[in-house]
Amino acid sequence: MSTPLPFHPSANIAELRESVTIAVSQKAKALKAAGREVIDLGAGEPDFDTPIPIRDAAKRALDQGATRYTAVEGILPLREAIAAQANARYRGGPSIGAGDVVVSSGSKQSLYNACVVLFGPGDEVLVPTPSWTSYYEMVALARATAVEVPGDPARGFKVDVPLLERFATPRTRGVMLNSPSNPTGSVYSPDELRALLDHCAARGWWVISDEIYVRIAYDAVAPGALDVATRRDNLIVVDGVAKAYAMTGWRIGWTISPTAVAKAMGALQSHTTSNPATVSQHAALAALTLGEPVESAVRRMVAEFKTRRDAALPILRASAQLTVLQPEGAFYFYLKVPGADRLADAGAEFANRLLEEEGVAIVPGSAFRTPGWVRISYAAAQAQVVEACHRVVRLAARMA
């Protein structure tokens, strides 16, 4: 047999790092399959099943033949429903049409599409840090440079205009925003968000506003960019059904953008994946249009996340060894662990030891470019979340 062809990764992915959020949950699943008892608080994935009316609608759609290709950018009724909901929130101009919406295979693909069509070699993109692990990689896959903008933990790591300006250069082309935030759970107020959007518009910077957690907020309604923006010629809103409707596996996300950007993303998608799964689009349509039967399920899930947060936060806060942010939305605790100021990556050491010694999987903050911190998902049963937080506190005491 001839020698196998050696694999040298192409320049496209030479720097690519695997998704740590995905890797942690896969490792937890593998350990469970091997018989170990693991509490998995790694994945940012609701533990609820998709509400029944949505599943029923998907079954009906299948029976009615929803098995073929659709338009690359998604079926028209879904794009119209997305546009109608967006218009109900948006006071500026021009109004949003179905042609401004591209439906993709998860908001992850939507974000990637946006990065690839907007940014390229030589461009810099400001990424408030910590941010979700994939922003940095997606910007790099677009061959642009992600510029980390380190937030202040005392402000829940939120950024403001002066801070963005400290990292701006003539090459700055865009900013990634995410509220409620993964991993911090912070929520920008309407005034904070408006100030950022106004400034980015005045500077001619693109804003990619990832609003996948916008319906999961506990203390006040979380504004989306379209609630406060007065113009949208520089704005790409990314959302999807995964988190609010417990539909992670259906893989449906979307963008709302200026028409020209939507056309470019549709063209890109026409060469990569074509339309997202047809039956999933019908399920998403049901999620957005069935009204009360679905809305009541969403309210119940959000209320349950809040109950878990309120049960577990005091346990973490009682530890003198931990600094714990107040999560106002999403379903994550973000905390600084012992040794953060001393060790190169105390968060990774903490997460590794927590899995080995206490059987709890969480994500090290280095995934979000803040070593020394860790992320705990509370999208799991309350008893598990509470038990895991006691174990976190126990390990913190041992590591102090």
Q: Return the structure tokens found at 8.
A: 């040298």
Q: Could you say whether residue 22 binds ligand GLU (CB under 6 A)?
A: yes
CB 392 to ligand GLU: min, Å: 17
Q: Could you say whether residue 21 binds ligand GLU (CB under 6 A)?
A: yes
Q: Could you say whether residue 364 binds ligand GLU (CB under 6 A)?
A: no
Residue 212 has phi, psi (to 5 degrees) of -65, -25
Based on CB atoms, which residue is closest to ligand GLU, 90 or 135? 135
Q: Could you say whether residue 205 binds ligand GLU (CB under 6 A)?
A: no
Under 8 Å between Cβ of 128 and 177: yes
Residue 130 has phi, psi (to 5 degrees) of -75, 150
Based on CB atoms, which residue is closest to ligand GLU, 43 or 286? 43
Q: Return the structure tokens found at 306.
A: 């809040």
Based on CB atoms, which residue is closest to ligand GLU, 110 or 172? 110
Among 28, 38, 40, 44, the residue binding ligand GLU under the rule CB under 6 A is 44
Region from 42-50, 90-98, 278-286, 308-316 binding ligand GLU, contact rule CB under 6 A: 42-50
Count, residues near ligand GLU per rule CB under 6 A: 10
Region from 5-13, 16-24, 82-90, 260-268 binding ligand GLU, contact rule CB under 6 A: 16-24
State the Cα–Cα distance between residues 392 and 290, nearest whole angstrom: 41
| H or E element, residue 387 | helix 382-399
Q: Could you say whether residue 132 binds ligand GLU (CB under 6 A)?
A: yes
Q: Are strands 206-210 and 373-377 parallel, antiparallel or unpaired?
A: unpaired
Greatest C-alpha distance within the chain = 68
Residue nearest to ligand GLU (CB): 44
- State the residue for tokens 């070699």: 121
| H or E element, residue 240 | strand 235-240
Q: Could you say whether residue 182 binds ligand GLU (CB under 6 A)?
A: yes
Give me the helix-helix angle, 20-33 and 346-358, nearest 10°. 10
Cα–Cα–Cα angle for 294, 297, 299, rounded to 5 degrees = 110
Region from 41-49, 74-82, 233-241, 319-327 binding ligand GLU, contact rule CB under 6 A: 41-49
Q: Could you say whether residue 382 binds ligand GLU (CB under 6 A)?
A: no
Per CB under 6 A, residues contacting ligand GLU are 19, 21-22, 43-45, 108, 132, 134, 182
